[in-house]
Amino acid sequence: MRHVGLKTRMAVVGSILFAFYALIAIVAVAAFGVGLPIVLVGTVGFAGFQYIVGKKVALWSAGAEELPADRYPEVHRSVERIAGDMGLEKPRLMVADMGIPNAFAVGRRGAGVVVVSEQLLRLLDHGELEGVLAHELAHIDNRDVVMMVMGQSVASMLGLAAYFAIAFSRDGGIGNIILGYLASVLVQMVAMVFVLAISRYREYVADADAARHVGGDAMARALEKISAASGQSDAELDDNVAALCISGGDRSALQRLFATHPPMEKRVDAVRAVDRQYY
């Protein structure tokens, strides 16, 4: 089986996220007397709604626009070729001004979108850019993008549920609002711990997949250039896309503890190891 480690992590995290949904459904039934069938239908419908909205919010927050095929024919051809090698339909290609060289993917197999920043297109040579594109296509191929979008949405939903449950309890008052806010932050942090269980690992897997398609040296050079350029910029990624991007940016020691991406130097070493293995 391909990528057993990633598939196992996704299955475990998916089960935990489902348990969170079930918990909310049980609370709704017990506290508000809502019928169980209605809650189940609503939960499934809301999950689908979250996936669709999460995808659109990521694109909207990045300010993504269509990448014109007449101006970037080589990029479109590269994506079509690599996607074909992976057995994927060619995804929609978009471009955004993120302030730093970066890229991310959203969607699923057959309905994927790859977004590259204007800065990335200017920074990388064609071979390095193909490495980044292959990395993003690998995320779609491995289906981990859906898990990340859903995981972030579940964390937000649980935070809101905790806030309203405490802030608008019978006693009311400013104290409950403050407690509700603190509970919301804490619940979201706990939920995101489970998302982090796959977030860093999926980056290693996508890097390795990209290295096997374009060569580890090209992928390593791309990661090194992205890391160096990001370290020289004050631009910050929007929270809606930061976890999805190929680079999460340099952070403090505390932030790295909860980082969605592994250290860049370890990723570079890993893709060069792939090169030694396959080439």
Residues 126, 82: contact at Cβ < 8 Å? no
- Residue 273, beta-bridge partner list: none
Alpha carbon of 140 to those of 69, 165, 170: distances in Å? 21, 36, 46
Main-chain dihedrals φ then ψ at residue 103, nearest 5 degrees: -160, 155
Residues 23, 190: contact at Cβ < 8 Å? no
Q: Is 66 a catalytic residue?
A: no
Tell me the C-alpha distance between 81 and 73, whole Å. 12
Candidate list 89, 136, 224, 236, residue with the active-site label: 136
**Among all residues, which ones are annotated catalytic?**
136
